[in-house]
Structure 1
Amino acid sequence: MIHVRRAGPLDAGAMADLLNEVIAAGGTTAMTEPVTGKDLRDRMGRSELSVWHLAENDSGTVLGFQWIEPLTGESGRVAEIATFARVGQTGLGIGSALFDATRQAAAAAGYDWIRANIRADNAGGLAYYQSRGFEDYGRIEGYRMGNGQVVDKILKRYEL
């Protein structure tokens, strides 16, 4: 069974381990360098409007996590979202459970809409956000990642 709860600083190490697996596998995130628990704790503390959720199984193993944080430069009060599921565990309802909690938290925090910024070659990520009701609204062409790889990115929005 999948349990979703708010993530806190003590979860940062386990979330970093999961994220590092995703980064090492490649192909789904624009992040190219490993992160530490401290990196994630620092990111969690950047804004009072950041909201982090964690999905875990009955034994407490982290299955995935999702965060939103304020995004400037867009019209309205906008949250940018990031979602990560354990490698090999996609398609099991983890993302759906996380987004249910995140959507509610975003509305409660007063956001107008949520932006997803997805690599154009990440078919799974594009399908995930589309299935949650996100709609395309823009594209970033020729985004250079930290490792020098160039990808296009699709911008999607979810109205709250």
Structure 2
Amino acid sequence: MIDTRPATPLDARPMAALLNAIIEKGGTTALVRPVTAEDLHDWMEEETPGRSAWHVAVAEDGEIVGFQWIEPAQYLPEDAAEIATFVQIGRTGLGIGSALFEATKKAARHIGYAWINANIRADNDGGLVYYQSRGFRDYDRWEGYKLENGEVVDKVLKRYDLD
């Protein structure tokens, strides 16, 4: 059984550990350098007040097994939020992402967003399938996107309309 709840600053350390394992494995996130608990705490605090929402997925034993957030992005219109999703390695396909997205959709509607944007590496098959299975549809593609470490990838942009 997976429960979801809003993330708190106390969740930053286990969230950073989960994300760092994904970053270290490589190939699925545009993030290429390890993050600290302080980084995540700062990201949660820096976001535009009232315009972002962070959720964690918690297993029965209390372990954080995934997290997701939405926030504004400069390249998106005011009525759109960017989404990011991270699930513990080895635990994909178990309903964690689905549970997180239900919480995020509710939060996005409450905030007043009309749609959610997913910005996904084109070589991230799991991410592409996840967002497609949630009902996101392709609307743009960025070719030759340069990551912080110099690696160049294509990005697929998908959108989910909240109405």
TM-score range, shorter chain: over 0.9
The match for 2:62 is 60
SS in 1 for 2:72: strand
1 CA distance for matches of 2:114 and 2:35? 30
Percent identity at matched positions? 61
The match for 1:152 is 154
Structure 2 residue identity aligned to 1:155: L
2 CA distance for matches of 1:83 and 1:138? 19
Q: Number of residue pairs matched? A: 160
Structure 1 residue identity aligned to 2:28: T
Correspondence list, 1:1-160, <5 A: 1-46=1-46, 47-48=48-49, 49-160=51-162
Structure 1 residue identity aligned to 2:85: T
Q: Which is worse superposed, 12-21 or 67-76?
A: 67-76
What do the CA deviations read for 1:54-94 (whole angstroms, capped 9, x no partner)?
Answer: 00111111110000001233334111000000011111100
TM-score (norm 1): 0.97
2 CA distance for matches of 1:75 and 1:37? 30
Unaligned 5+ segments in structure 2 are none
Unaligned 5+ segments in structure 1 are none
SS in 1 for 2:30: coil
CA contact (8 A) 1:51 1:69 kept: yes
1 CA distance for matches of 2:54 and 2:134? 18
CA contact (8 A) 2:72 2:78 kept: no
SS in 2 for 1:81: strand
SS in 2 for 1:35: coil
CA contact (8 A) 1:140 1:154 kept: yes
Q: Which is worse superposed, 140-149 or 90-99?
A: 140-149
TM-score (norm 2): 0.95
1 CA distance for matches of 2:75 and 2:67? 25
SS in 1 for 2:154: strand
CA contact (8 A) 1:76 1:112 kept: no
1 CA distance for matches of 2:60 and 2:7? 16
Structure 1 residue identity aligned to 2:34: P
Structure 1 residue identity aligned to 2:139: Y
